[in-house]
Chain A
Amino acid sequence: MKDIARLDIPAYCQKSVTEVFATMLSMDAERFDVGSEDDLEGERVVGSVSFVGAIMGTVSIHMAADFARMATAAMLGMDYDDVQAKEEVHDVVGELSNMVGGNLKSRFCDDGFPCSLSLPSITTGSHFRIKCRDLTRHDRFGFHCQEHTVIVEVFLKEGSC
């Protein structure tokens, strides 16, 4: 019997995030437990992709705007000060969430939950939380990365197809 509660989301997320950050940013990401109320302070950039199919939901990667700019510089081989355009930062954060989400989607499919992946979307602002109604499983992880914190949230429920 397939049950989303049995999916090893912590392991999938850890592998995916560490691999994506190491390969694309040359940065180590170390997972730590984060409380449900712990959050990033100040302006942040969030990249999200959604799953639709036998499993429904979304994975979001939250990072401080400053770290998002740093990640953009690392991914594009630029100096931090040369990163000026928000579009570049959004594109990089979107691509990172696409890679992490694509990896999770592949694991879900292999575990018997075929689904499709959406294009990435970007949310920016400060002091906000993302909530997904009617989704039955919520996982939340923190990653230490170059003295910054990245929060990864996964909301899921079983789909109808």
Chain B
Amino acid sequence: MSLKVLSVDDSKTIRMIVRKAFSPFDCVLTEAENGIEGLACAAKERPDLIILDITMPIMNGIEMLSKLRGEPQLSAIPVIMLTAESGKDKVMEILKLGVKNYIVKPFKGEQLIEKAQTMVKLEPKVGEGTQKSGGHSKWFALENQIQRLTVPDKVDRVTLIEIEGAFHARMKEMLNSGVNRLILDLSRVKEINVALIKLLISVIRSCQSSNIKMRIVGNPSLDKDLKELKETSEVPIDSSLEDARAAL
């Protein structure tokens, strides 16, 4: 059964970031714009986890949490609070309400997932991007202990979310099985856009933080473009898969 997550935030932007962060996992996400709506959703949906912003109109997160804690049927629901304020007074206020899990904005979706995983069990979504059985998705291939991620010709917002989710799930499998080399195959890419750059940065940072050796395969014009970007300039770029494999 899918995990139920309730996101309560007046900012559509933050709700979208939360939605994106949970998208690789088997979750049903419900959204509310303020504390009153959040309480109503919590009573109706009985979520397994609530992501709750503090500063909201009509009823703020602190008030909503107090009321939630006062309802016997809802009081045990784990809550992660989001706040733009990291001052001692605000932290004390949150801790007094019994919330040990809070995230200070700005934050990345990965931080939210890390925190959520300490409170609930998140299962990867079963779909074309990720398979629970450990099988390879359409973007991944494991050859001679080298993981290959083949990026499609155009990466849009939806594809970015799908690939990122599948990649993070695959990274865990790689680390568990001792695979520490990756080829990011961009040879099919026809267009460099924001979504692709975000994907590249995400993959590069994940590899750097997990000590995974990586190389990029791309055509000469891509090579030139990537060298101009700070984040991608230091990753070796090869013109063919064979060259990349040999270099790894």
Q: Which residues of A contact B (CB under 8 A)?
A: 19-20, 23-24, 26, 28, 73-80, 82, 87-88, 91-92, 94-95, 98-99, 101-103, 105-110, 114, 117, 119
Q: Which residues of B contact A23 (CB under 8 A)?
A: 106-108
**Residue contact B12 to A91, C-beta cutoff 8 Å:** yes
Name the one of A75, A79, A87, A95 contacting B195, with C-beta atoms under 8 angstroms. Answer: A79
**Residue contact A95 to B87, C-beta cutoff 8 Å:** no
B55 lies within 8 A of chain A by Cβ? yes
B193 lies within 8 A of chain A by Cβ? yes
Given contacts A77-B157, A77-B195, A91-B12, contact A109 B106 (CB under 8 A): no
**Residue contact B84 to A99, C-beta cutoff 8 Å:** yes
**Residue contact A106 to B194, C-beta cutoff 8 Å:** no
CB distance from A47 to the nearest CB of B (A): 12
**Residue contact B156 to A79, C-beta cutoff 8 Å:** yes
B residues 82-113 near A (Cβ < 8 Å) are 83-90, 105-108
Given contacts A24-B106, A109-B90, contact A95 B194 (CB under 8 A): no
Q: Which residues of A contact B10 (CB under 8 A)?
A: 119
Supply 12 further A-B pairs (C-beta < 8 A) apart from A26-B201, A92-B13, A98-B55.
Answer: A24-B106, A77-B194, A82-B156, A88-B12, A91-B13, A102-B83, A102-B84, A102-B86, A102-B105, A109-B89, A109-B90, A119-B10
A-B contact pairs, 13 of them (CB 8 A): A20-B105, A23-B107, A74-B198, A75-B13, A76-B13, A76-B16, A79-B156, A88-B13, A98-B84, A99-B106, A103-B85, A117-B55, A119-B10
Nearest neighbor of A73 in chain B, beta-carbon distance: B194
B20 lies within 8 A of chain A by Cβ? yes
Given contacts A109-B89, A109-B90, contact A95 B14 (CB under 8 A): yes
How big is the B interface, by class? 20 to 34
B residues 21-76 near A (Cβ < 8 Å) are 55, 57
**Residue contact A105 to B194, C-beta cutoff 8 Å:** no
From B10, B83, B108, residue with most partner A Cβ within 10 Å? B10
B residues 218-248 near A (Cβ < 8 Å) are 230-231
Q: Which residues of A contact B194 (CB under 8 A)?
A: 73-74, 77-80
B160 lies within 8 A of chain A by Cβ? yes
Q: Which residues of A contact B20 (CB under 8 A)?
A: 77
Given contacts A19-B106, A23-B108, A78-B194, contact A110 B88 (CB under 8 A): yes
**Residue contact B57 to A119, C-beta cutoff 8 Å:** yes
Name the one of B16, B57, B85, B107 contacting A105, with C-beta atoms under 8 angstroms. Answer: B85
The A interface is mostly helix, strand or loop, or mixed, namely helix
**Residue contact A94 to B195, C-beta cutoff 8 Å:** no
CB distance from A106 to the nearest CB of B (A): 3
CB distance from A70 to the nearest CB of B (A): 8
Q: How far is the CA of A30 from the CA of B43 in the complex (A)?
A: 46
**Residue contact A106 to B106, C-beta cutoff 8 Å:** no
**Residue contact A79 to B13, C-beta cutoff 8 Å:** no
B161 lies within 8 A of chain A by Cβ? yes
Q: How far is the CA of A109 from the CA of B231 in the complex (A)?
A: 36
B residues 158-205 near A (Cβ < 8 Å) are 160-161, 193-195, 198, 201
Q: How far is the CA of A107 from the CA of B14 in the complex (A)?
A: 23
Q: How far is the CA of A91 from the CA of B17 in the complex (A)?
A: 13
Given contacts A103-B84, A109-B90, contact A87 B12 (CB under 8 A): yes
**Residue contact A106 to B90, C-beta cutoff 8 Å:** yes
Nearest neighbor of A88 in chain B, beta-carbon distance: B12
B145 lies within 8 A of chain A by Cβ? no
**Residue contact A78 to B85, C-beta cutoff 8 Å:** no
